[in-house]
């Protein structure tokens, strides 16, 4: 196949190109930068999707919200409804890279790049988000929870275009948060990250989700941590127990960013901070966005 570049004007045109073997580029902050760093060569055939208006924007969808695949991190973190009701996602989008990265990087690219260290995955899983695809045979939805197949891999097929991410309305009394370990204040990559969503009714936790980032080949939920929260008052002891479970559910590696022991210990710290923040928000408390900054040095 010869090298081609197509700036698609419609979803159909893009899907057609994908079917013909092209790979898509949205903001290019993963795929182009990765190529320049020598991680992975650019695909021979490229379909650029940045001009497809149908993929833009954030809109109400029933009681929930639909994020177009091209919604940028900047749009997401500054969106009033996201900040109010899907706060954990705002926590994540607000800390992606730098201001320039957030202005160019899209939710679609973040999800489909499927890095185990990417930031929006954990909160999307905790908030029960689904990814909506259009392929040659029509559309289908996959829960984000079930999407990641391994580092850089999803269960979607190569000719499917992600068109949107749907966020269902959270139950009343739900709070969410995402917290990541940051060695410096900007331009970080998750070394350890934890997302949490907690629903509290009548002083008791009725539902909880906890998902961990950069602690396994894929971002995933830790059911034991969730179980440690449900039925409790969501207080310090419950958060600590759930955090310990989250750490136990991690399978960290040792590398230049940190040893496995340190990462496991930090999994518990980040989990406790994420859970406590989610609980505080569920109870109507204000913990400012991003939670990674506002929980720095929290004891």
Cβ closest to ligand FAD, residue 113 vs residue 232: 113
Considering the rule CB under 6 A, would residue 97 count as an interface residue with ligand FAD?
Answer: yes
- Count of residues that interact with ligand FAD, criterion CB under 6 A: 31
> Rounded to an integer, what distance in angstroms lies between the CA atom of residue 183 and that of residue 107?
24
Considering the rule CB under 8 A, would residue 254 count as an interface residue with other proteins?
Answer: no
13: DSSP letter: H
Considering the rule CB under 8 A, would residue 105 count as an interface residue with other proteins?
Answer: no
Cβ closest to ligand FAD, residue 27 vs residue 175: 27
Q: Are 44 and 1 in contact (CB under 8 A)?
A: yes
Considering the rule CB under 6 A, would residue 69 count as an interface residue with ligand FAD?
Answer: yes
Q: Please name the helix (run of DSSP H) or strand (run of DSSP E) that holds residue 58, with its range, or none.
A: strand 58-61
- Count of residues that interact with other proteins, criterion CB under 8 A: 23
Stretch that binds ligand FAD, among 30-38, 196-204, 275-283, 284-292 (CB under 6 A): 30-38
Pairing state between β 23-25 and 45-48: parallel
Stretch that binds other proteins, among 19-27, 137-145, 146-154, 184-192 (CB under 8 A): 184-192
Considering the rule CB under 8 A, would residue 91 count as an interface residue with other proteins?
Answer: no
Give the CA distances from residue 17 to residues 10, 26, 61, in Å, rounded to whole numbers and listed in that order: 11, 14, 28
> Rounded to an integer, what distance in angstroms lies between the CA atom of residue 297 and that of residue 299?
6
Q: Which 170-229 positions form the footprint of ligand FAD (CB under 6 A)? A: 187-189
> Rounded to an integer, what distance in angstroms lies between the CA atom of residue 211 and that of residue 180?
12
> Rounded to an integer, what distance in angstroms lies between the CA atom of residue 71 and that of residue 77?
10
- Whether the CA torsion 56, 104, 76, 5 is positive or negative: it is positive
Among 159, 99, 115, residue whose Cα is nearest residue 135? 159
Give which of other proteins, ligand FAD, none residue 297 binds (C-beta under 5 to 8 Å, depending on kind).
other proteins
Token code pair at residue 157 = 């097929």
Q: Are 90 and 124 in contact (CB under 8 A)?
A: no
Considering the rule CB under 8 A, would residue 189 count as an interface residue with other proteins?
Answer: yes
Among all residues, whose Cβ is closest to ligand FAD? 109
Q: Are 119 and 213 in contact (CB under 8 A)?
A: yes
Q: Among 139, 141, 186, 288, which residue sits at the site for other proteins (rule: CB under 8 A)?
A: 186
Give which of ligand FAD, other proteins, none residue 269 binds (C-beta under 5 to 8 Å, depending on kind).
other proteins
The residues of the shown chain that bind ligand FAD, judged by CB under 6 A, are 23-31, 33, 49, 69, 95-97, 101, 104-106, 108-110, 112-113, 118-119, 161-162, 187-189
The residues of the shown chain that bind other proteins, judged by CB under 8 A, are 37-38, 98, 181-187, 189, 255-259, 262, 265-266, 269, 296-297, 299
């Amino acid at each position: 196949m010869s090298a081609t570049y197509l700036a698609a004007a419609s979803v159909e045109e893009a899907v057609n190109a994908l079917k013909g073997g092209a790979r898509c580029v949205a903001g290019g902050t993963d795929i182009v930068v990765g190529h320049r760093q020598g991680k992975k060569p650019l695909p021979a055939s490229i379909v650029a999707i940045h001009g497809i208006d149908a993929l833009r924007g954030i809109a109400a969808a029933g009681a929930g919200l639909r994020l177009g695949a091209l919604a940028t991190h900047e749009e997401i973190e500054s969106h009033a409804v996201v900040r109010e009701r899907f706060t954990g996602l705002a926590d994540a989008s607000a800390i992606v890279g730098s201001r320039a990265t957030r202005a160019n990087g899209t939710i679609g690219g973040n999800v489909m790049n499927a890095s185990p260290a990417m930031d929006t995955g954990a909160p999307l899983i905790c908030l029960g988000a689904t990814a909506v695809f259009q392929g040659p045979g029509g559309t289908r939805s996959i829960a984000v929870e079930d999407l990641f197949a391994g580092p850089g891999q999803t269960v979607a097929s190569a000719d499917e275009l992600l068109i949107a991410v749907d966020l269902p309305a959270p139950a009343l009394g739900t709070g969410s948060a995402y917290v990541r370990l940051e060695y410096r204040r900007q331009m970080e990559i998750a070394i350890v990250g934890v997302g949490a969503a907690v629903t509290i009714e009548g002083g008791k936790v009725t539902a909880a989700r906890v998902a961990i980032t950069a602690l396994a080949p894929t971002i995933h939920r830790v059911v034991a941590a969730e179980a440690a929260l449900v039925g409790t008052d969501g207080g310090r002891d419950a958060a600590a127990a759930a955090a310990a479970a989250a750490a136990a559910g991690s399978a960290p590696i040792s590398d230049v960013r940190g040893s496995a022991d340190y990462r496991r210990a930090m999994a518990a710290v980040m989990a406790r901070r994420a859970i406590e923040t989610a609980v505080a928000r569920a109870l109507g408390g204000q913990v400012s966005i991003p939670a990674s900054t506002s929980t720095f040095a929290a004891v």
